[in-house]
């Protein structure tokens, strides 16, 4: 390519890098805002989005997940946008390094999920069960998420209703939540038959498997964008040397 063509290509890629990372920055800000909204007023959030809330994110406190992801995207967008705009080698290299670390972590997580599925399920149970006992009925966002989950999937707790035994909810209301019993006689009384004794674990796994193709496609798309981002940032970095 002629020097003019090379300069034109450099300018085009620089502008695309700025726009792409500006979109990432705005997206990160949106996710951060939603996460903060869930923390501050989780009830109003799930009144709006409760109908689409039956998914894998329900097993954890979605608010903090969104805040972490939003913050990471904000940082990435800032580094990429400013690095390209200011033609800063330091910021471009920092952007490349952060994306590379995230990419490696995602690949490692995918390998662990595929190879150690049983271990992942054990860890999930070991993490979520004590969380329900300690926080259900005490932390509004977690309580709302699980009430919606149990109501949509017709189940109770992760393993069964005993996951909620000793929870702040039970201490406060002296009864299991309505989704566990469909408004009928609660566990602990003379009859358990009207209640949903099965836990949500199998249903959640079924939901995950049902959407695994979509999740895999999204993950592949994200990985492709990350690779493209690293290639572009390294191209700009190397071209700055030539300039």
Domain ranges in the chain are: 1-86, 97-242
Structure tokens at 167: 């929870």
Q: What is the pLDDT of residues 199-232, one digit of tens each?
A: 888 877 777 677 667 767 777 888 888 888 889 9
What confidence score (pLDDT) does residue 94 get? 92
Quickly count: other Cβ atoms within 10 Å of residue 129's Cβ: 18
pTM, rounded to two decimals:
0.60
Q: What's the rounded Cα separation, in Å, for the pair 21 and 77?
A: 4
- Tell me if residue 198 falls in helix, strand or coil: strand
Q: Which residues pair with 198 in a beta bridge?
A: 160
Higher pLDDT, 168 or 148: 168
Give 1's pLDDT tier (boundaries 50, 70, 90): low
CATH homologous superfamily of 97-242 equals Tetraspanin (1.10.1450.10)
- Tell me if residue 98 falls in helix, strand or coil: helix
| Residue pair 89/237 in contact by the 8 Å Cβ criterion | yes
Q: What is the pLDDT of residues 11-68, one digit of tens each?
A: 888 888 888 888 888 888 888 887 787 777 666 665 655 544 444 444 445 677 778 8
């Amino acid at each position: 390519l002629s020097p003019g063509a090379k300069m034109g290509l450099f300018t085009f890629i620089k502008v695309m890098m700025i726009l792409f990372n500006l979109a990432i920055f705005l997206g990160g800000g949106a996710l951060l805002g939603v996460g903060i909204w869930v923390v501050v007023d989780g009830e109003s959030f799930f009144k709006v989005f409760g109908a689409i809330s039956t998914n894998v994110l329900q097993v954890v406190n979605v608010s903090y997940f969104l805040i972490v992801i939003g913050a990471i995207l904000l940082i990435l967008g800032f580094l990429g946008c400013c690095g390209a705009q200011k033609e800063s080698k330091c910021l471009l290299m920092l952007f490349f390094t952060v994306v590379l670390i995230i990419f490696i972590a995602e690949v490692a997580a995918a390998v662990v999920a595929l190879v150690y599925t049983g271990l992942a399920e054990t860890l999930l149970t070991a993490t979520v069960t004590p969380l329900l006992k300690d926080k259900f009925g005490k932390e509004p966002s977690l309580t709302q998420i699980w009430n919606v989950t149990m109501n949509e999937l017709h189940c109770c707790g992760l393993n069964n209703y005993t996951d909620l035994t000793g929870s702040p909810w039970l201490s406060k209301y002296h009864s299991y939540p309505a989704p566990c019993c469909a408004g009928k006689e609660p566990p602990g009384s003379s009859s358990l038959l009207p209640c949903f004794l099965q836990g949500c674990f199998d249903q959640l796994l079924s939901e995950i498997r049902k959407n695994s193709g979509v999740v895999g496609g999204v993950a592949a798309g994200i990985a492709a964008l990350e690779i493209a981002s690293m290639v572009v940032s390294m191209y700009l970095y190397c071209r700055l040397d030539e300039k």
